[in-house]
Amino acid sequence: MKTTLLYAKLQLMRILRDPVTLIVLFAIPVLLLVLFGAFIGRGDAGGVTLKVAVVNNSDEQFAQDFVAQLKKVEVLSVDENTTKLNDAETKLKDSQLDGIIELPSGFGKQVDERPTGTVRLLSDAGDRSSVDILMGVMSSVAEQSNAAITGGEAPIKVEQSSVQGTASQPVDVLYPMFTSMGIMMVGIFAVASTIPSDKKTGILRRMRVTPFRTSQLIGGIVLAYLVISFLVVAVMTGIAMIAFGMEVRGDWLSLATIVLIGSMLMIALGVMIGGWAKNTTQSEIYGQIIFIGSLAFSGLWLPRALMPDWLRDITAFLPLTPLIEGMERIVVEGLAITDISFQLAVIAGWFVVVFLVGMKTFRWE
Protein backbone atom coordinates (compact mmCIF):
# COMPACT_ATOMS: atom_id res chain seq x y z
CA MET A 1 0.00 0.00 0.00
CA LYS A 2 2.86 2.36 0.82
CA THR A 3 4.36 1.80 -2.61
CA THR A 4 1.01 2.49 -4.27
CA LEU A 5 0.58 5.75 -2.35
CA LEU A 6 4.11 6.83 -3.21
CA TYR A 7 3.52 6.16 -6.91
CA ALA A 8 0.20 8.03 -6.70
CA LYS A 9 2.00 11.02 -5.21
CA LEU A 10 4.59 10.98 -7.99
CA GLN A 11 1.86 10.76 -10.64
CA LEU A 12 -0.06 13.64 -9.07
CA MET A 13 3.04 15.87 -8.99
CA ARG A 14 3.67 14.97 -12.61
CA ILE A 15 0.12 15.94 -13.61
CA LEU A 16 0.21 19.24 -11.73
CA ARG A 17 3.44 20.16 -13.51
CA ASP A 18 1.80 19.71 -16.91
CA PRO A 19 -0.12 22.96 -17.57
CA VAL A 20 -1.36 21.89 -21.01
CA THR A 21 -3.11 18.80 -19.64
CA LEU A 22 -4.63 20.77 -16.76
CA ILE A 23 -5.90 23.51 -19.07
CA VAL A 24 -7.58 20.97 -21.36
CA LEU A 25 -9.16 19.00 -18.51
CA PHE A 26 -10.48 22.08 -16.72
CA ALA A 27 -11.08 24.59 -19.49
CA ILE A 28 -13.38 22.58 -21.78
CA PRO A 29 -16.10 21.62 -19.24
CA VAL A 30 -15.85 25.01 -17.51
CA LEU A 31 -16.20 26.94 -20.79
CA LEU A 32 -19.17 24.83 -21.85
CA LEU A 33 -20.90 25.39 -18.51
CA VAL A 34 -20.24 29.14 -18.54
CA LEU A 35 -21.18 29.69 -22.19
CA PHE A 36 -24.34 27.58 -22.19
CA GLY A 37 -25.30 28.77 -18.71
CA ALA A 38 -24.97 32.42 -19.73
CA PHE A 39 -26.69 31.92 -23.07
CA ILE A 40 -29.62 29.77 -21.92
CA GLY A 41 -29.95 30.86 -18.34
CA ARG A 42 -30.61 34.58 -18.57
CA GLY A 43 -32.73 35.48 -15.62
CA ASP A 44 -34.61 38.68 -16.51
CA ALA A 45 -36.33 40.38 -19.39
CA GLY A 46 -34.00 43.35 -19.64
CA GLY A 47 -33.43 44.12 -23.31
CA VAL A 48 -35.30 40.96 -24.37
CA THR A 49 -37.96 40.95 -27.07
CA LEU A 50 -40.17 37.91 -27.52
CA LYS A 51 -41.51 37.16 -30.97
CA VAL A 52 -45.05 35.82 -30.65
CA ALA A 53 -48.01 34.96 -32.83
CA VAL A 54 -51.49 36.02 -31.74
CA VAL A 55 -54.23 33.64 -32.87
CA ASN A 56 -57.64 35.23 -32.40
CA ASN A 57 -60.48 32.74 -32.78
CA SER A 58 -63.09 35.06 -31.29
CA ASP A 59 -65.48 37.41 -33.09
CA GLU A 60 -66.11 39.53 -30.00
CA GLN A 61 -65.14 43.20 -30.06
CA PHE A 62 -63.38 42.81 -26.71
CA ALA A 63 -61.05 40.24 -28.32
CA GLN A 64 -60.13 42.71 -31.06
CA ASP A 65 -59.36 45.36 -28.44
CA PHE A 66 -57.33 42.85 -26.43
CA VAL A 67 -55.17 42.01 -29.47
CA ALA A 68 -54.61 45.71 -30.08
CA GLN A 69 -53.49 46.07 -26.48
CA LEU A 70 -51.01 43.20 -26.90
CA LYS A 71 -49.40 44.89 -29.91
CA LYS A 72 -48.55 47.88 -27.70
CA VAL A 73 -46.55 45.80 -25.23
CA GLU A 74 -42.84 46.63 -25.75
CA VAL A 75 -41.53 43.19 -24.83
CA LEU A 76 -43.74 41.48 -27.44
CA SER A 77 -43.06 41.50 -31.16
CA VAL A 78 -46.27 40.25 -32.77
CA ASP A 79 -45.94 38.34 -36.04
CA GLU A 80 -48.63 39.98 -38.15
CA ASN A 81 -48.40 37.34 -40.88
CA THR A 82 -49.15 34.35 -38.65
CA THR A 83 -52.79 34.19 -37.57
CA LYS A 84 -53.55 30.46 -37.88
CA LEU A 85 -52.76 28.05 -35.03
CA ASN A 86 -51.22 25.36 -37.25
CA ASP A 87 -48.89 27.84 -38.90
CA ALA A 88 -47.93 29.30 -35.53
CA GLU A 89 -47.18 25.86 -34.03
CA THR A 90 -44.96 25.03 -37.00
CA LYS A 91 -42.98 28.23 -36.50
CA LEU A 92 -42.74 27.57 -32.76
CA LYS A 93 -41.28 24.10 -33.38
CA ASP A 94 -38.79 25.62 -35.84
CA SER A 95 -37.76 28.21 -33.19
CA GLN A 96 -39.07 31.07 -35.34
CA LEU A 97 -41.39 32.08 -32.48
CA ASP A 98 -40.92 32.31 -28.73
CA GLY A 99 -44.57 31.69 -27.98
CA ILE A 100 -48.16 31.65 -29.16
CA ILE A 101 -51.02 33.64 -27.62
CA GLU A 102 -54.37 32.07 -28.49
CA LEU A 103 -57.75 33.67 -27.82
CA PRO A 104 -60.31 30.86 -27.99
CA SER A 105 -63.70 31.12 -29.64
CA GLY A 106 -66.05 33.21 -27.51
CA PHE A 107 -63.24 35.07 -25.76
CA GLY A 108 -64.62 38.39 -24.52
CA LYS A 109 -68.23 37.22 -24.53
CA GLN A 110 -70.43 39.14 -22.10
CA VAL A 111 -71.42 37.23 -18.96
CA ASP A 112 -73.36 39.24 -16.39
CA GLU A 113 -72.49 42.31 -18.44
CA ARG A 114 -68.76 41.60 -18.17
CA PRO A 115 -66.40 40.24 -20.85
CA THR A 116 -64.81 36.94 -19.83
CA GLY A 117 -62.35 34.47 -21.27
CA THR A 118 -59.09 32.59 -20.78
CA VAL A 119 -55.97 33.35 -22.78
CA ARG A 120 -54.04 30.22 -23.80
CA LEU A 121 -50.24 30.37 -24.05
CA LEU A 122 -48.25 27.82 -26.02
CA SER A 123 -44.50 27.72 -25.53
CA ASP A 124 -41.39 25.62 -25.98
CA ALA A 125 -40.88 23.73 -22.72
CA GLY A 126 -37.14 23.71 -23.31
CA ASP A 127 -36.88 27.52 -23.29
CA ARG A 128 -37.71 28.10 -19.64
CA SER A 129 -36.62 31.74 -19.53
CA SER A 130 -38.86 32.79 -22.45
CA VAL A 131 -41.77 30.90 -20.89
CA ASP A 132 -41.36 32.77 -17.60
CA ILE A 133 -41.07 36.16 -19.30
CA LEU A 134 -44.10 35.55 -21.52
CA MET A 135 -46.19 34.35 -18.58
CA GLY A 136 -45.23 37.42 -16.57
CA VAL A 137 -46.09 39.79 -19.42
CA MET A 138 -49.47 38.15 -20.04
CA SER A 139 -50.31 38.14 -16.35
CA SER A 140 -49.62 41.87 -16.29
CA VAL A 141 -51.83 42.45 -19.34
CA ALA A 142 -54.61 40.38 -17.78
CA GLU A 143 -54.38 42.35 -14.54
CA GLN A 144 -54.71 45.63 -16.42
CA SER A 145 -57.76 44.30 -18.24
CA ASN A 146 -59.29 43.03 -15.00
CA ALA A 147 -58.69 46.39 -13.34
CA ALA A 148 -60.76 48.03 -16.06
CA ILE A 149 -63.62 45.60 -15.48
CA THR A 150 -65.61 45.93 -12.29
CA GLY A 151 -66.57 42.97 -10.19
CA GLY A 152 -65.36 40.22 -7.88
CA GLU A 153 -63.60 37.25 -9.51
CA ALA A 154 -61.19 38.12 -12.27
CA PRO A 155 -63.03 37.63 -15.59
CA ILE A 156 -59.79 37.47 -17.65
CA LYS A 157 -57.36 34.68 -16.76
CA VAL A 158 -54.09 33.46 -18.25
CA GLU A 159 -53.44 29.73 -18.54
CA GLN A 160 -49.97 28.40 -19.41
CA SER A 161 -49.07 24.85 -20.39
CA SER A 162 -45.68 23.20 -20.90
CA VAL A 163 -44.35 19.75 -21.39
CA GLN A 164 -41.44 18.01 -19.64
CA GLY A 165 -39.04 19.50 -17.14
CA THR A 166 -37.84 18.70 -13.61
CA ALA A 167 -35.13 21.32 -13.24
CA SER A 168 -36.00 24.80 -12.02
CA GLN A 169 -33.25 26.49 -14.06
CA PRO A 170 -31.03 25.55 -17.01
CA VAL A 171 -27.88 25.13 -14.90
CA ASP A 172 -29.57 22.26 -13.04
CA VAL A 173 -29.44 20.29 -16.29
CA LEU A 174 -26.15 21.68 -17.63
CA TYR A 175 -24.14 21.04 -14.46
CA PRO A 176 -24.57 17.22 -14.31
CA MET A 177 -23.95 16.88 -18.06
CA PHE A 178 -20.78 18.94 -18.34
CA THR A 179 -19.38 17.86 -14.98
CA SER A 180 -19.82 14.19 -15.93
CA MET A 181 -18.17 14.96 -19.25
CA GLY A 182 -15.23 16.52 -17.38
CA ILE A 183 -14.89 13.40 -15.23
CA MET A 184 -14.89 11.23 -18.36
CA MET A 185 -12.24 13.42 -19.99
CA VAL A 186 -9.89 12.79 -17.05
CA GLY A 187 -10.05 9.05 -17.69
CA ILE A 188 -10.47 8.84 -21.44
CA PHE A 189 -7.86 11.42 -22.42
CA ALA A 190 -5.46 12.06 -19.52
CA VAL A 191 -5.04 8.51 -18.20
CA ALA A 192 -5.32 6.78 -21.56
CA SER A 193 -2.60 8.95 -23.10
CA THR A 194 -0.20 8.88 -20.14
CA ILE A 195 0.32 5.11 -20.10
CA PRO A 196 1.27 4.74 -23.82
CA SER A 197 3.57 7.74 -23.44
CA ASP A 198 5.37 5.97 -20.56
CA LYS A 199 5.63 2.86 -22.73
CA LYS A 200 7.25 4.85 -25.51
CA THR A 201 9.83 6.46 -23.23
CA GLY A 202 10.65 3.09 -21.65
CA ILE A 203 9.54 4.08 -18.13
CA LEU A 204 7.19 1.13 -17.77
CA ARG A 205 9.73 -1.31 -19.19
CA ARG A 206 12.26 -0.30 -16.55
CA MET A 207 9.61 -0.48 -13.80
CA ARG A 208 8.68 -3.99 -14.89
CA VAL A 209 12.06 -5.42 -13.85
CA THR A 210 11.48 -4.15 -10.30
CA PRO A 211 9.19 -5.78 -7.71
CA PHE A 212 6.58 -3.15 -8.68
CA ARG A 213 3.34 -4.99 -9.56
CA THR A 214 0.61 -4.19 -12.09
CA SER A 215 -1.96 -3.75 -9.31
CA GLN A 216 0.27 -1.15 -7.61
CA LEU A 217 0.77 0.71 -10.87
CA ILE A 218 -2.97 0.83 -11.62
CA GLY A 219 -3.81 1.66 -8.00
CA GLY A 220 -1.42 4.61 -8.01
CA ILE A 221 -2.82 5.92 -11.27
CA VAL A 222 -6.40 5.64 -9.99
CA LEU A 223 -5.60 7.51 -6.75
CA ALA A 224 -3.71 10.31 -8.52
CA TYR A 225 -6.38 10.95 -11.10
CA LEU A 226 -9.16 10.70 -8.51
CA VAL A 227 -7.71 13.87 -7.01
CA ILE A 228 -7.83 15.55 -10.43
CA SER A 229 -11.44 14.41 -10.98
CA PHE A 230 -12.52 15.87 -7.63
CA LEU A 231 -10.74 19.12 -8.43
CA VAL A 232 -12.65 19.33 -11.73
CA VAL A 233 -15.94 18.67 -9.91
CA ALA A 234 -15.11 21.24 -7.22
CA VAL A 235 -14.39 23.94 -9.82
CA MET A 236 -17.57 23.12 -11.79
CA THR A 237 -19.68 23.09 -8.62
CA GLY A 238 -18.28 26.40 -7.43
CA ILE A 239 -18.96 28.11 -10.77
CA ALA A 240 -22.48 26.68 -10.99
CA MET A 241 -23.36 27.82 -7.47
CA ILE A 242 -21.67 31.22 -7.46
CA ALA A 243 -22.24 32.35 -11.06
CA PHE A 244 -25.63 30.76 -11.75
CA GLY A 245 -27.17 30.26 -8.33
CA MET A 246 -27.38 26.48 -8.49
CA GLU A 247 -28.61 24.79 -5.34
CA VAL A 248 -27.57 21.26 -4.38
CA ARG A 249 -30.85 19.87 -3.06
CA GLY A 250 -29.46 16.50 -2.06
CA ASP A 251 -26.81 15.88 0.58
CA TRP A 252 -23.14 16.44 -0.19
CA LEU A 253 -22.14 12.94 0.87
CA SER A 254 -24.40 11.43 -1.79
CA LEU A 255 -22.95 13.77 -4.42
CA ALA A 256 -19.40 12.92 -3.37
CA THR A 257 -20.19 9.21 -3.51
CA ILE A 258 -21.58 9.26 -7.05
CA VAL A 259 -18.60 11.39 -8.14
CA LEU A 260 -16.19 8.92 -6.52
CA ILE A 261 -17.55 5.75 -8.13
CA GLY A 262 -18.12 7.53 -11.46
CA SER A 263 -14.54 8.81 -11.45
CA MET A 264 -13.19 5.37 -10.61
CA LEU A 265 -15.05 3.91 -13.58
CA MET A 266 -13.78 6.54 -16.03
CA ILE A 267 -10.20 6.23 -14.78
CA ALA A 268 -10.40 2.42 -15.01
CA LEU A 269 -11.68 2.87 -18.57
CA GLY A 270 -8.65 5.04 -19.32
CA VAL A 271 -6.32 2.44 -17.80
CA MET A 272 -7.88 -0.27 -19.95
CA ILE A 273 -7.48 1.80 -23.12
CA GLY A 274 -3.95 2.95 -22.30
CA GLY A 275 -2.84 -0.47 -21.11
CA TRP A 276 -4.01 -2.18 -24.28
CA ALA A 277 -2.88 0.50 -26.76
CA LYS A 278 0.63 0.17 -28.14
CA ASN A 279 1.08 3.92 -28.60
CA THR A 280 -0.63 7.27 -28.00
CA THR A 281 -2.15 7.27 -31.49
CA GLN A 282 -4.06 4.08 -30.77
CA SER A 283 -5.17 5.30 -27.34
CA GLU A 284 -6.44 8.58 -28.80
CA ILE A 285 -8.45 6.73 -31.47
CA TYR A 286 -9.99 4.33 -28.94
CA GLY A 287 -10.69 7.18 -26.54
CA GLN A 288 -12.31 9.36 -29.20
CA ILE A 289 -14.63 6.53 -30.25
CA ILE A 290 -15.81 5.96 -26.69
CA PHE A 291 -16.01 9.69 -25.87
CA ILE A 292 -17.94 10.72 -28.99
CA GLY A 293 -20.26 7.72 -28.67
CA SER A 294 -20.98 8.67 -25.06
CA LEU A 295 -21.71 12.30 -25.94
CA ALA A 296 -24.06 11.19 -28.71
CA PHE A 297 -26.05 8.59 -26.78
CA SER A 298 -25.85 9.68 -23.14
CA GLY A 299 -27.82 12.88 -23.58
CA LEU A 300 -25.25 15.62 -24.27
CA TRP A 301 -25.87 15.96 -28.00
CA LEU A 302 -29.39 14.56 -28.20
CA PRO A 303 -31.71 14.57 -25.16
CA ARG A 304 -32.54 10.99 -24.24
CA ALA A 305 -36.18 12.01 -23.86
CA LEU A 306 -36.31 12.44 -27.65
CA MET A 307 -34.94 8.95 -28.34
CA PRO A 308 -37.19 5.98 -29.18
CA ASP A 309 -38.05 3.82 -26.18
CA TRP A 310 -35.83 0.94 -27.31
CA LEU A 311 -32.81 3.21 -27.77
CA ARG A 312 -33.43 4.98 -24.47
CA ASP A 313 -33.52 1.61 -22.69
CA ILE A 314 -30.21 0.58 -24.27
CA THR A 315 -28.40 3.89 -23.61
CA ALA A 316 -29.38 3.72 -19.93
CA PHE A 317 -26.62 1.11 -19.58
CA LEU A 318 -23.83 3.19 -21.14
CA PRO A 319 -21.03 4.22 -18.70
CA LEU A 320 -21.74 7.98 -18.87
CA THR A 321 -25.55 7.86 -18.68
CA PRO A 322 -25.94 6.66 -15.05
CA LEU A 323 -23.33 9.19 -13.90
CA ILE A 324 -25.27 12.09 -15.47
CA GLU A 325 -28.62 10.81 -14.21
CA GLY A 326 -27.29 10.06 -10.74
CA MET A 327 -25.80 13.54 -10.32
CA GLU A 328 -28.95 15.17 -11.70
CA ARG A 329 -31.23 13.31 -9.31
CA ILE A 330 -29.09 14.23 -6.31
CA VAL A 331 -28.55 17.87 -7.29
CA VAL A 332 -31.98 18.65 -8.79
CA GLU A 333 -34.42 16.23 -7.17
CA GLY A 334 -32.72 16.06 -3.79
CA LEU A 335 -32.48 12.26 -3.74
CA ALA A 336 -30.03 10.37 -1.55
CA ILE A 337 -27.46 7.87 -2.79
CA THR A 338 -29.76 5.03 -1.69
CA ASP A 339 -32.45 6.28 -4.08
CA ILE A 340 -30.35 5.81 -7.20
CA SER A 341 -29.58 2.12 -6.84
CA PHE A 342 -30.02 1.44 -10.57
CA GLN A 343 -27.43 4.03 -11.56
CA LEU A 344 -25.02 2.75 -8.90
CA ALA A 345 -25.47 -0.84 -10.07
CA VAL A 346 -24.73 0.07 -13.69
CA ILE A 347 -21.60 2.04 -12.78
CA ALA A 348 -20.38 -0.69 -10.40
CA GLY A 349 -21.00 -3.37 -13.03
CA TRP A 350 -19.03 -1.45 -15.63
CA PHE A 351 -16.20 -0.81 -13.16
CA VAL A 352 -15.78 -4.51 -12.32
CA VAL A 353 -15.75 -5.53 -15.98
CA VAL A 354 -13.43 -2.72 -17.10
CA PHE A 355 -11.03 -3.19 -14.18
CA LEU A 356 -10.71 -6.95 -14.74
CA VAL A 357 -10.25 -6.53 -18.48
CA GLY A 358 -7.69 -3.77 -17.88
CA MET A 359 -5.70 -5.99 -15.51
CA LYS A 360 -5.70 -8.90 -17.95
CA THR A 361 -4.85 -6.91 -21.08
CA PHE A 362 -2.32 -4.48 -19.60
CA ARG A 363 0.91 -4.30 -21.60
CA TRP A 364 4.08 -2.99 -20.02
CA GLU A 365 5.63 -2.18 -23.39
pLDDT means over runs of 10, the chain (365 residues): 83 85 86 82 54 91 87 86 89 86 89 83 73 77 68 55 54 90 90 82 78 80 91 95 90 95 93 85 88 89 80 92 93 91 95 88 75
Extract long-range pairs of 308-317: CB within 8 Å, 24+ residues apart: 316/346, 317/346
pLDDT digits (tens, 9 = 90+) for 121-131: 888 766 666 77
To the question of pTM greater than 0.75 for the whole model, the response is: no
Burial class of 161 by CB neighbour count within 10 A (0 to 12, 13 to 18, 19+): exposed
| Residue 309 contacts residue 237 (beta carbons within 8 Å) | no
pLDDT digits (tens, 9 = 90+) for 83-97: 899 998 888 888 888
The dihedral of CA 72, 76, 77, 81: what is its sign?
negative
Q: Domain segments of the chain: what residues?
A: 2-40+169-361, 50-161
Residue 123 CA from chain centroid, whole number: 21
Tell me which CATH code domain 50-161 carries. Answer: 3.40.1710.10
| Residue 70 contacts residue 101 (beta carbons within 8 Å) | yes
Report the helix count and the strand count for the chain, using DSSP H and E: 14, 6
| Residue 200 contacts residue 279 (beta carbons within 8 Å) | yes
pLDDT digits (tens, 9 = 90+) for 229-270: 999 999 999 999 998 888 899 999 999 999 999 999 999 999
